[in-house]
Structure 1
Amino acid sequence: MAEKITQCMKPHGEEGFETIKNMNENHRDISEFAFECIDVDENDKILDIGCGGGVNIEKFLKLTNNNVDGLDYSEVSVNASVNQNKKAVDDGRCHIVQADVTDMPIDDEEYDLVSAFETIYFWPDIANTFKEVARIVKSGGKFMIAQGTDGNHPDDELWLSTVEGMHVYTAPELEKYLIDAGFASAEIFKKENDYILVVIAEK
């Protein structure tokens, strides 16, 4: 049996840097569609969980005058995000921390918008992890999930069999987890003639 791919779950070492570069390139369509779906206010304070190479932090920084922070449990990803957004980090508009999404060192109701691009596949105990996300979202705030599969992609089985720690969720599954976690509603967006899925939950 072939060894499973581990870099997607937690980029590490020299290979991790290459993985992040590839993610930045390969996830561009997902990111572009997600930004079409979300309305960002100029005063929104934002957190990108699983921030990877920091390209989505960079996009958010152009849309808000407030802080855009990042969180990732890969040291390589944290360093890449800091480098990608060095001026904002130096100016104090961006703080990037290495931490686990299941237990984030963040105060309750801290953010207006929390995003997760191509990352929830690897979150453990998704029901309780979504509760942890709900904890840090302000009342009336939003949590946006963006992913390249809606659970019906023809390559889902291949990814599940080859990528370490990966789980794929359909829109109805995500909606139920989000409502159970304390969000009031969840809006579903699917890219036409594609499998790209964006779910925006409001607290």
Structure 2
Amino acid sequence: MKKGDQKGVFTDKKSAEEFNRLARTVFAPVNAAVARQIVQECGVGSGTAVDIGSGPGHLAIELARITDLTIVSLDISPCVRPVAVENIRAAGLSDRITAVTGDAAQIPLSDASVDLAVSKGSVFFWPEPAAAFREIRRVLRRGGEAWIGGGFGSSAILQGVGEQMDRFDPTWIDGVRERLGDRTAERFREELNDAGIEEYTILHDPWQLWIRFQGGKG
């Protein structure tokens, strides 16, 4: 499943709506599970959050449902913003989630303005991960939490999603294994070092690859 002609980017309304349909159905258990995992691990339940590479906004919506966070749903693709706005409206969360068009390497937020920065699935397609990591650290308040990467919540959820996705794209699971593999984890370590981020944690299992670091720290 591709987001568009350019990897990781929605290039037209049709690709955005197609991805949205899958996110609302096949991937629904993933977004809910990841939202719970983020809240449990990071312990941030209020304040301001940004979901980078938010696409149609489903992770932002799930986070808002289980916290008191005010959330910026940020995506580089202008064509996905109307889809996100409608999803947010339908969830009754327009007062707490704002869909914004913007780049991970140039986040349109003030310094030290965010308590939680999350991103699920888009980091693998960022052309300049180190620049994005620096930007995330810039917008985080001291002690604010970053949770960046990809994952499915559990091996059972990945298996279930994989069985459904096999009908749409038999090569999908191969892409997942590559993105969540050892080489990707090592590349992330190199990019974090290039970004000047020395204190970080990488959570790595066959069904997940997450980077964690805090604001106000090197």
Q: TM-score, normalised by structure 1?
A: 0.76
Percent identical: 23
Give 1:24 shift.
Answer: 4.7
**Alpha carbons of structure 1 residues 52 and 169: separation in structure 2 relative to 1, 3 Å:** farther
Which of 177, 191, 197 lines up with 2:191 in the alignment?
A: 177
SS at match of 1:95: strand
Give 1:62 shift.
Answer: 2.2
**Alpha carbons of structure 1 residues 182 and 137: separation in structure 2 relative to 1, 3 Å:** farther
CA contact (8 A) 1:178 1:201 kept: no
The one-character-per-residue Cα deviations of 1:38-90 (angstroms, maximum 9, x if unpaired) are 3343323111011112111111112322311111111232222211111322x
1:200 corresponds to: 212
**Alpha carbons of structure 1 residues 5 and 72: separation in structure 2 relative to 1, 3 Å:** closer
Give the aligned residue type for 1:155. Answer: D
**Alpha carbons of structure 1 residues 179 and 52: separation in structure 2 relative to 1, 3 Å:** same
List runs of 5+ in structure 2 lacking aligned partners.
153-171
Q: TM-score, normalised by structure 2?
A: 0.71
CA contact (8 A) 1:41 1:63 kept: no
1:6 corresponds to: 5
CA distance in 2, matches of 1:45, 1:36: 18
Correspondences of 1:91-170 after superposition (within 5 Å): 91=95, 93-148=96-151, 155-156=174-175, 170=184
**Alpha carbons of structure 1 residues 15 and 159: separation in structure 2 relative to 1, 3 Å:** farther
2:200 corresponds to: 186
Q: Aligned Cα RMSD in Å?
A: 3.1
The one-character-per-residue Cα deviations of 1:5-41 (angstroms, maximum 9, x if unpaired) are 6265222222331123224545456542463253343
List runs of 5+ in structure 1 lacking aligned partners.
161-167
SS at match of 1:62: helix
CA distance in 2, matches of 1:50, 1:114: 11
Give the aligned residue type for 2:117. Answer: V
SS at match of 1:200: strand
CA distance in 2, matches of 1:28, 1:8: 22
| Larger relative helix fraction | 2
Give the aligned residue type for 2:134. Answer: K
Give the aligned residue type for 1:59. Answer: E
1:22 corresponds to: 22
Give 1:148 shift.
Answer: 4.6
Give the aligned residue type for 1:197. Answer: L
CA contact (8 A) 1:184 1:201 kept: no
1:35 corresponds to: 36
**Alpha carbons of structure 1 residues 16 and 189: separation in structure 2 relative to 1, 3 Å:** same
SS at match of 1:109: coil
Give the aligned residue type for 2:68. Answer: N
1:77 corresponds to: 80
CA contact (8 A) 2:137 2:214 kept: no
CA distance in 1, matches of 2:149, 2:87: 21
Count of residue correspondences = 186
CA distance in 1, matches of 2:183, 2:26: 20
2:69 corresponds to: 66
